[in-house]
Amino acid sequence: MEPAVAQPPFVTLRDVGFHYPGHENGPSVLRDLSLDIARGEFFVLIGPSGCGKTTVLNLVAGFEFPDRGTVAVDGTRIAAPGVDRTVIFQGDDSLLPWLSAVENIELGPRIAGLPKARRREIAVAKLALVGLEGQGHKRPSQLSGGMKQRIQLARALACDSRVLLMDEPFGAIDAQTRASLQDELGAIWGRTRQTVLFITHDIAEAILLADRIGVMTSGPDATLAEIIPVDLARPRDRALPEFGAMYGRVNGALSSCRVGRAPS
């Protein structure tokens, strides 16, 4: 039997450095950051506030560009935002208030030029996928915070992009709803197997969702300190001892990071 052929990384960052515009002579936000994410992987980036997690996501999205190094998807260097990458932010401000939930979900297929009947079919299917079947007629003002985040997720899934970028999407939601959305997102990812880069500061959330967790050092000059595989069966149970042990490992990695440097 021939050995399996290793697949090339799908999302790559190589020796990336980044300064905010106008601050090129000061400390960098990111220094020598390299990362590979496999096709279909759920990768979570975690670290203290201000360490540059969102900057990494913005570089992959094409909203920012590195001072040095390269950022690429499927071997193509990122030069601008693109339909192959969809971003979900923490708040719900990106929902268009004058459109219904189903019309918000239809935006991606509409921009892609799909016929009205087909884009409605897609939107209704994604509504059901996020547990909001029958709620498509409501405007954002009629939805709870958790429901709005589900609509954002459904809209992103309707775009059928190759990479889903999520920047603390559940950070502004109450704990009970957040736990429910984490479980639902894990189940949805299990069906779609999209490549996901997910940003959080919540260790338990990272463990619930990730195939691997990238731990970042504090900034400035932040970089990746460690990548931790999460070898726990899905769906994951927060009450299991293995979950607690993984929590301790990730928490220890975060605690040991020195400012701007990976632990030796």
Convert the pLDDT of each residue in 41-96 to its tens digit: 999 999 888 888 999 999 999 999 999 999 999 999 999 998 889 998 776 567 88
Residue 95 included in any domain: yes
Name which residue leads in pLDDT, 12 or 260.
Answer: 12
Cα–Cα distance, 223 to 52 (Å, whole number) = 8
Which residues are CB-contacts of 168 (< 8 A; sequence separation ≥ 6)? 90, 199, 200, 201
pLDDT at residue 21, as a whole number: 78
**pTM for the full model?**
0.89
C-alpha closest to that of 150 among 124, 122, 100, 185: 185
* Pair type for strands 68-73 and 76-77: antiparallel
Residue 148 included in any domain: yes
Residue 127 included in any domain: yes
Name which residue leads in pLDDT, 243 or 146.
Answer: 243
Q: What is the DSSP letter of 74?
A: T
Residue 101 included in any domain: yes
pLDDT at residue 38, as a whole number: 95
- Domain hosting 99: range is 91-160
Given a cut of 80, whether residue 133 has pLDDT beyond it is yes
Q: How far is C-alpha 219 from the chain's CA centre?
A: 20
Cα–Cα distance, 12 to 42 (Å, whole number) = 14
Q: How many domains does the chain have?
A: 1
Residue 30 included in any domain: no
- The mean predicted confidence, pLDDT, of the chain is 87
Given a cut of 50, whether residue 114 has pLDDT beyond it is yes
Residue 119 included in any domain: yes
Interval 21-30 mean pLDDT: 80
Interval 205-212 mean pLDDT: 96
pLDDT at residue 210, as a whole number: 96
The beta-strand segments (E) located in the chain are 11-18, 30-37, 42-46, 68-73, 76-77, 85-88, 163-167, 195-200, 212-216, 224-229
Residue 84 included in any domain: no
pLDDT at residue 264, as a whole number: 40
Cα–Cα distance, 58 to 31 (Å, whole number) = 15
Residue 6 included in any domain: no
Residue 34 · residue 13 · CB < 8 Å: yes
77-91, 170-184, 244-258: least confident range: 170-184
